[in-house]
Amino acid sequence: MSEDQNLLERRQAALGPGAPLFYDRPLHIVRGEGCWVWDAEGRRFLDAYNNVPHVGHCHPHVTEALCRQASLLNIHTRYLHEGIVDYAERLTATFPDGLERVMFCCTGTEANELALRIARAVSGHQGVLVSDFSYHGNSGGLAALTTGLPTPEPFAPFGRAVPVPNPFRWQAAGDAADLVAHHLALVDEAIASLDAAGYGVAAVLFDSIFSTEGLPNVPADYIRGVAERVRRAGGLYIADEVQPGFGRMGDALWGFEAADMVPDIVTLGKPMGNGHPIAAVVTRPELADAFARDALYFNTFAGNPVSAAVGRAVLDVIAGERLMERAADTGRHLQEGLGKLATADPRLGDVRGRGLFAAIEMVDRRGEPDAATARAVVNTMRDRGVLISRIGPDDNVLKIRPPLTFGQVEADLLVATLAEALAGTRASA
Amino acid sequence: MSEDQNLLERRQAALGPGAPLFYDRPLHIVRGEGCWVWDAEGRRFLDAYNNVPHVGHCHPHVTEALCRQASLLNIHTRYLHEGIVDYAERLTATFPDGLERVMFCCTGTEANELALRIARAVSGHQGVLVSDFSYHGNSGGLAALTTGLPTPEPFAPFGRAVPVPNPFRWQAAGDAADLVAHHLALVDEAIASLDAAGYGVAAVLFDSIFSTEGLPNVPADYIRGVAERVRRAGGLYIADEVQPGFGRMGDALWGFEAADMVPDIVTLGKPMGNGHPIAAVVTRPELADAFARDALYFNTFAGNPVSAAVGRAVLDVIAGERLMERAADTGRHLQEGLGKLATADPRLGDVRGRGLFAAIEMVDRRGEPDAATARAVVNTMRDRGVLISRIGPDDNVLKIRPPLTFGQVEADLLVATLAEALAGTRASA
């Protein structure tokens, strides 16, 4: 631990005390494989948190594609290259008809920036709806549209953060009004207020699984209602698939598909390159062309031959190892296990999620969010060798989002460790 | 060519006609090594343009570091890792005292976004000075601050684009006023106008070599004068080193050093990872800490173990192969060769640049910018196997910015091919 302490101090001097680290006792990871990571002392941890290594840490097929192309050519995209075109075709083929144009970026931040630029250029409006406590990126523009993370920027005058329906909290509050109607009325108000302020509505930007918001089970009716209202106001629906995308939902490759609604723009990020910085905007040709009439968009690194090779390899593995189906199976098994725990332990107020992305709302005796217990559980599980995290407006929602190679054996280990952590936390309370 | 035509059509369908390509006849590159690239038919081209492969295309030391780390661990930065701390320490050690804190990003866009966020948070002001015809990134916020590229966004009300001194154009116009005093007066006006509009001055954001602007020989007095004025107004000096940085200037690792002035914030990008998407903001601890008090900045991919390994390998090669010194030697040799050509050919109105970054201003008989001839020369050189490009507000400045492994033999070949291209262009005129 003294070596780690030394490293921590060097880190704080070079990167600053503000550079975030997970856990009360930071983890010093040196190696990863599948859904396992090892710390500097050789101790193994089950990774039930990380979506960057989407198809498993250091997947050999992806690493090989990376190394092969990096040895051959690593350049920007202002030359013709088969790799980027192949990848673009394969990627767009996974989307509903119409969404057949891709613009590559390097990060989810860049993709969401580009999506908003397109929406504004096409609509001629400035206003943006986001959900309350969402987060879509680290640029100045996106920082001004988050209520989910501390930022020095005031919330944008052209932004409106609408609370999305959370059936669990709604029931807990005993509200008798119609959940969807109530929340759609808030959207109507937000649109009217953007119109009144002269901004109009350029877009709604929603994470398809509402990750930062704590994975509330947002009804599909609500999503369709929002899309309809925003379009009626002349705006576009942007689906942020940085967290739900690439098969994690189990039932579909893209999170938006569950709402039976086709977005105007889709943004992709993190899991796309299994750790390699690649992201994209997928949209309809007429929207991309309208934007391109007035804009020269160029992104040096984006979609270069190496990124494209990595992206293709990730698609290979998702299909070849049937990871979407695996996410569905493991996810179902995990939900069952977590559900059983919840039946026995009232502190697990709600178990929810889709595919291989689960959330557990921790509550106190009065049913109120319990961040302290959630924090204790996350840290105890880390000490017991299983990595998860927590999210949500009240920081009380356990977040379980492992690499898609996670199987039933690993799910059982996670559930057993959670049970132990809960038992330990109870004893110490 | 029919295969390339087919690839071009597939590319346009998937990526859109707006996705930029170099040259009238696009180049289909499949392999790179050192400062050479090969097209799909096996034809070799001298790369005198690309700064992404900063230490040479596919440098084996960099590729090996990439592959080794990608096989071991590729994750974000919320765990302790030696690699990122080592890299941060090595990187900040190359900066003047005080600039000892680094925040990693993935792209120059992200770095400039972060720099502006810090400047605004710290200064409490909103206004930004940029140079006219500059470009600093593809986000919505940076698009609204460029006059160098077409964008659908109107220029920001809190932005001011000031023309920087270009001694060549100034002399050509026969202006008798003092170049620096004239341009500093424009800066005073811009600052006064930002103050009057209530924005104040958060920062000036200058590329240290004014790449997009066409590499004008901006006097150091001007740079220091701008820094002094902006600081007096409560703003910060941000040096964009995405193009000049990492030794290209020959005389120093960072472009700002020539002006004998220490910026408050430095942004790094492209050459940093030899093609791997990595970028950074380097600043003083008190500025980073002031920002961190109100902001949780997190960038998923930035500075991950793979990026850090690649970044360290690039620093290794720059030092080990003495590439900065090489940039100085080759640059001097290149300037001599180009200077001789210019003496014999009045169309080469001005030969300028620093280190291994050269620019040639092409002019017509009246000394006016000649974009048509510049375009013809760029395309003829491509057909003759040497890759360069053009820049500047009038698109008439030949841009020569090869990988740093470029040597005197390659410089001679470039000059000889340029002479041939000029002769051919003359003949056809």
Give residue B1's pLDDT: 55
The answer to whether B72 contacts A4, with C-beta atoms less than 8 Å apart, is no
Say how far apart CA B101 and CA B103 lie, in whole Å.
Answer: 7
**Distance in Å, alpha carbon of B415 to nearest chain A alpha carbon:** 23
Q: How many domains does chain B have?
A: 2
Of B4, B7, B50, the CB nearest to A75: B50
Looking at the structure, do residues B294 and B364 belong to the same domain, yes or no? no
Residue B138's nearest CA partner among B102, B157, B111 is B111
Residue A360's nearest CA partner among A330, A380, A339 is A339
With CA atoms as reference, the chain B residue closest to A151 would be B295
pLDDT bracket for residue A428 (50, 70, 90): very low
Measured between beta carbons, which residues in chain A are less than 8 angstroms from residue B295? 18, 143, 150-152
Q: What is the pLDDT of residues B243-274, one digit of tens each?
A: 999 999 999 999 999 999 999 999 999 899 99
Give residue B429's pLDDT: 45
Looking at the structure, do residues A45 and A104 belong to the same domain, yes or no? no
Query: What is the Cα Rg of chain B in Å?
Result: 22
User: Mind listing the pLDDT tens digit of every residue in chain B (429 residues)?
Assistant: 578 899 999 999 999 987 889 999 999 999 999 999 999 999 999 999 999 999 999 999 999 999 999 999 999 889 999 999 999 999 999 999 999 999 999 999 999 999 999 999 999 999 999 999 999 999 999 999 999 999 999 999 999 999 999 999 888 777 777 999 999 999 999 999 999 999 999 999 999 999 999 999 999 999 999 999 999 999 999 999 999 999 999 999 999 999 999 999 999 998 999 999 999 999 999 999 999 999 999 898 888 999 999 999 999 999 999 999 999 999 999 999 999 999 999 999 999 999 999 999 999 999 999 999 999 999 999 999 999 999 999 999 999 999 999 999 999 999 999 999 999 886 444
In DSSP terms, which residues pair with A399 in a beta bridge?
A359, A389
Looking at the structure, do residues A143 and A274 belong to the same domain, yes or no? yes
In angstroms, how far is CA B94 from the centroid of its own chain? 19
Looking at the structure, do residues A224 and A95 belong to the same domain, yes or no? yes
Give residue B187's pLDDT: 98
For residue B159, give the H/E element and its range. strand B159-162
In angstroms, how far is CA B88 from the centroid of its own chain? 22
Say how far apart CA A109 and CA A269 lie, in whole Å.
Answer: 8
Lowest mean pLDDT among A171-180, A253-262, B41-50: A171-180
Looking at the structure, do residues A184 and A303 belong to the same domain, yes or no? yes
The answer to whether B74 contacts A58, with C-beta atoms less than 8 Å apart, is yes
Say how far apart CA B333 and CA B327 lie, in whole Å.
Answer: 10
Residue B343 burial (C-beta neighbours within 10 Å; 0-12, 13-18, 19+): exposed
Of A79, A141, A297, the CB nearest to B28: A79
The answer to whether B298 contacts A151, with C-beta atoms less than 8 Å apart, is no
The answer to whether B77 contacts A101, with C-beta atoms less than 8 Å apart, is no
Give residue A1's pLDDT: 55
Strands (E), B174-256: 201-207, 236-240
**Distance in Å, alpha carbon of B22 to nearest chain A alpha carbon:** 6
Residue A1 burial (C-beta neighbours within 10 Å; 0-12, 13-18, 19+): exposed
The pair of structure tokens assigned to A373 is: 């217990």
Helix intervals (H) in A149-253? 167-172, 179-196, 220-232
The answer to whether B285 contacts A16, with C-beta atoms less than 8 Å apart, is yes
Measured between beta carbons, which residues in chain B are less than 8 angstroms from residue A75? 29, 32, 37, 50, 52-53, 57, 275
Looking at the structure, do residues A205 and A243 belong to the same domain, yes or no? yes
Looking at the structure, do residues B358 and B293 belong to the same domain, yes or no? no
Coil, strand or helix: which one is B315? helix
Give residue A426's pLDDT: 65
The answer to whether A11 contacts B116, with C-beta atoms less than 8 Å apart, is no
What is the sign, positive or negative, of the torsion defined by CA atoms of B349, B354, B356, B357?
A: negative
The answer to whether A15 contacts B84, with C-beta atoms less than 8 Å apart, is yes
Average per-residue pLDDT in chain A? Answer: 95
**Distance in Å, alpha carbon of B161 to nearest chain A alpha carbon:** 19
The answer to whether B92 contacts A298, with C-beta atoms less than 8 Å apart, is no
The answer to whether B74 contacts A57, with C-beta atoms less than 8 Å apart, is yes
**Distance in Å, alpha carbon of A257 to nearest chain B alpha carbon:** 22
| Residue A45 identity (one-letter amino acid) | F
Coil, strand or helix: which one is B390? strand
Give residue A17's pLDDT: 83
Q: In the A/B pair of chains, how many CB contacts fall below 8 A?
A: 330
Q: What is the pLDDT of residues A123-167, one digit of tens each?
A: 999 999 999 999 999 999 999 999 999 999 999 999 999 999 999
The answer to whether A149 contacts B296, with C-beta atoms less than 8 Å apart, is yes
Say how far apart CA A402 and CA A410 lie, in whole Å.
Answer: 10
Please provide the DSSP assignment of A69-97 as one string. HHHH----SSSB-HHHHHHHHHHHTTSPT
Of B32, B113, B153, the CB nearest to A73: B32
Looking at the structure, do residues A145 and A202 belong to the same domain, yes or no? yes
The pair of structure tokens assigned to B234 is: 């409560």
The answer to whether A14 contacts B306, with C-beta atoms less than 8 Å apart, is no
Looking at the structure, do residues A158 and A261 belong to the same domain, yes or no? yes
**Distance in Å, alpha carbon of A79 to nearest chain B alpha carbon:** 5
Give the end of a domain, one of A320, A343, A369.
A320
Give the end of a domain, one of B302, B320, B338.
B320
Looking at the structure, do residues B200 and B312 belong to the same domain, yes or no? yes
The pair of structure tokens assigned to B25 is: 């006849």
In angstroms, how far is CA A379 from the centroid of its own chain? 22
Give residue A429's pLDDT: 45
Rounded to whole angstroms, what are the CA distances from A13 to A10, B81, B185, B286? 5, 14, 40, 12
Owner of token pair 């593995």: A317
The answer to whether A151 contacts B295, with C-beta atoms less than 8 Å apart, is yes
Say how far apart CA B384 and CA B413 lie, in whole Å.
Answer: 11
CATH of the domain at B420: 3.90.1150.10
Say how far apart CA A323 and CA B271 lie, in whole Å.
Answer: 36
Give residue B428's pLDDT: 45
Q: What is the pLDDT of residues A92-133, one digit of tens each?
A: 999 999 999 999 999 999 999 999 999 999 999 999 999 999
With CA atoms as reference, the chain A residue closest to B58 would be A71
The answer to whether A14 contacts B100, with C-beta atoms less than 8 Å apart, is yes
| Residue B148 identity (one-letter amino acid) | G
Q: Quote ipTM for the complex.
A: 0.96
Give residue B3's pLDDT: 86
Give the end of a domain, one of B268, B303, B320.
B320
Domain residues for the domain of B72 are 60-320
- Optimal mutation site among A138, A238, A284, A291, interface B, most CBs of chain B within 10 A: A138
Residue A389 has pLDDT above 50, yes or no: yes
The answer to whether A76 contacts B141, with C-beta atoms less than 8 Å apart, is no
Looking at the structure, do residues B131 and B22 belong to the same domain, yes or no? no
Please provide the DSSP assignment of A317-364 as one string. HHHHTTHHHHHHHHHHHHHHHHHHHHHH-TTEEEEEEETTEEEEEEB-
- Optimal mutation site among B39, B107, B388, interface A, most CBs of chain A within 10 A: B107
Say how far apart CA B379 and CA B127 lie, in whole Å.
Answer: 40
**Distance in Å, alpha carbon of A146 to nearest chain B alpha carbon:** 11
Give residue A103's pLDDT: 97
**Distance in Å, alpha carbon of B271 to nearest chain A alpha carbon:** 11
**Distance in Å, alpha carbon of A347 to nearest chain B alpha carbon:** 28
Give residue A311's pLDDT: 98
Looking at the structure, do residues A313 and A339 belong to the same domain, yes or no? no
Measured between beta carbons, which residues in chain B are less than 8 angstroms from residue A79? 21-22, 26-29
The predicted model gives A38-43 an average pLDDT of 97
Count CA within 13 A, CB hemisphere, residue A314.
Answer: 34
Q: Cβ–Cβ contacts within 10 Å for residue B198, how many?
A: 10
The answer to whether A28 contacts B63, with C-beta atoms less than 8 Å apart, is no
State the Cα torsion A47-A109-A265-A271 to the nearest 10°: -20
With CA atoms as reference, the chain A residue closest to B67 would be A67
The answer to whether B66 contacts A63, with C-beta atoms less than 8 Å apart, is no
**Distance in Å, alpha carbon of A328 to nearest chain B alpha carbon:** 24
